[in-house]
């Protein structure tokens, strides 16, 4: 098993290196830019949301000093209606017309759904998209003017760990998430991936904190719970949530997001900075003269593993030695 994992990671790293080499070659072969470049980052969410902030950190780490970066945040995580998203997309479209940026980075699904796909498909202005959950199929990417990065959850390694932890070959889990468009999309893909490993996955979509707490109680009758996200849950309270989990959490709880570690026992995290770094490097290649159609779309290649030692100890759940040794231990 470990040899297979190492082989898979080597292949993944090699693919990552090859794309970075391609981006470097494209930049070297492209004509020199004499004037200062302008970049616009349109995010689906808002500052203060950890995923959004991580993407921004990655973008700035690559592009600061290379172009002047403006930002527009659609804030569609807290404001869930399609009407709001469409109005924000029109504001972003107006800003693009005014700024005339050399490249636009559009992060997460709503920026693609409400801005890029309906207003900029195959037009002249280049876009780099990132944080697109699971697949770009619904948007028809790539376009002639669009490349980017797909966001993939490390489902297979986490499922293998769940089987080891619980010593089961099949099981039944509950996904507890906010009632958002992205959450429904994630459930569709997670359900399919878990079923490939003989795990049935149900979902409970919570709008309020009280609904989330009740869902957590219901989850104790399952083999495990997936606590994917808490952003967008009305009335969320960090301290009350921790107390609720400490008091009632007996079954294995897992997540794919770092900020859910205070409420989850095992977390295999995507790294938002990686999405921003990929997007930044693709944007940089475009600024140096490369055509988006020359840059293949890719997906994230890395993840981190965390364990919440406090919750694990209270539940009495014991982890395999290999996971204990390689995971980052925290007691939030």
pLDDT per residue over 20-69, tens digit each?
A: 555 555 444 444 444 579 999 999 999 999 999 999 999 999 999 999 99
Across 131-159, average pLDDT: 92
CATH 3.40.1170.60 for the 155-269+304-330 domain, yes or no: no
257: nearest Cα among 75, 133, 130, 74: 133
CATH 3.40.630.10 for the 2-152+271-299 domain, yes or no: no
pLDDT per residue over 260-319, tens digit each?
A: 999 999 999 989 999 999 999 999 999 999 999 999 999 988 889 999 999 999 999 999
Instruction: List CB contacts of 129: < 8 A, sequence separation 6 or more.
Output: 105, 106, 107, 111, 112, 116, 136, 141, 146, 147, 148, 149, 279
What was the pLDDT predicted at 61? Answer: 97
Domain boundaries, the chain: 2-152+271-299, 155-269+304-330
Backbone angles phi, psi at 290, to 5 degrees: -75, 145
Across 116-130, average pLDDT: 97
Check if 2-152+271-299 and 155-269+304-330 are the same fold.
yes
Between 160 and 3, the more confident residue is: 160
Location of structure tokens 């949301």: 49
Between 18 and 88, the more confident residue is: 88
Start-to-end CA distance of the chain, whole Å, equals 30
Q: What percent of the chain has pLDDT over 70?
A: 89
What was the pLDDT predicted at 19? Answer: 54
Backbone angles phi, psi at 317, to 5 degrees: -80, 130
In this model, does residue 13 exceed pLDDT 50?
Answer: no
What was the pLDDT predicted at 24? Answer: 52
Beta bridge partners of 56: none
């Amino acid at each position: 098993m470990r040899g297979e994992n190492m082989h898979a990671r080597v292949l993944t790293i090699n693919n990552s290196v090859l794309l970075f080499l391609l981006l470097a070659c494209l930049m070297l072969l492209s004509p020199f830019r004499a004037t200062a470049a302008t970049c616009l980052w349109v995010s689906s969410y808002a500052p203060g949301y950890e995923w959004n902030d991580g993407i921004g950190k990655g973008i700035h780490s690559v592009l600061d000093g290379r172009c002047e970066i403006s930002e527009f945040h659609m804030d569609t995580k807290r404001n869930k209606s399609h009407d709001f998203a469409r109005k924000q997309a029109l504001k972003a479209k107006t800003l693009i017309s005014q700024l005339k940026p050399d490249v636009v980075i559009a992060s997460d699904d709503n920026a693609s759904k409400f801005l890029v796909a309906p207003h900029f498909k195959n037009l002249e202005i280049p876009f780099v998209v990132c944080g697109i959950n699971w697949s770009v199929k619904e948007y028809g990417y790539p376009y002639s003017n669009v490349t980017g990065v797909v966001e993939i959850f490390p489902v297979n390694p986490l499922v293998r760990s769940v089987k080891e932890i619980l010593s089961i070959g099949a099981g039944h889990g509950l996904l507890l998430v906010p009632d958002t468009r992205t959450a429904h999309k994630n459930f569709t893909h997670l359900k399919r991936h878990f079923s490939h490993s003989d795990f049935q996955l149900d979902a409970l979509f919570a709008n309020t904190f009280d609904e989330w707490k009740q869902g957590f109680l219901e989850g104790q009758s399952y083999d495990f719970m997936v606590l994917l996200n808490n952003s967008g849950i009305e009335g969320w309270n960090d301290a009350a949530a921790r107390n609720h989990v400490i008091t009632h959490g007996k079954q294995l709880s897992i997540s794919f997001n770092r900020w859910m570690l205070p409420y989850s026992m095992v977390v295999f995290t995507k790294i938002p900075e990686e999405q921003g770094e990929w997007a930044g490097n693709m944007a940089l290649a475009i600024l140096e003269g490369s055509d988006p159609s020359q840059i293949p779309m890719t997906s994230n290649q890395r993840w981190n593993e965390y364990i919440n030692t406090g919750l694990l100890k209270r539940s009495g759940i014991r982890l395999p030695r290999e996971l204990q040794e390689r995971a980052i231990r925290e007691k939030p």
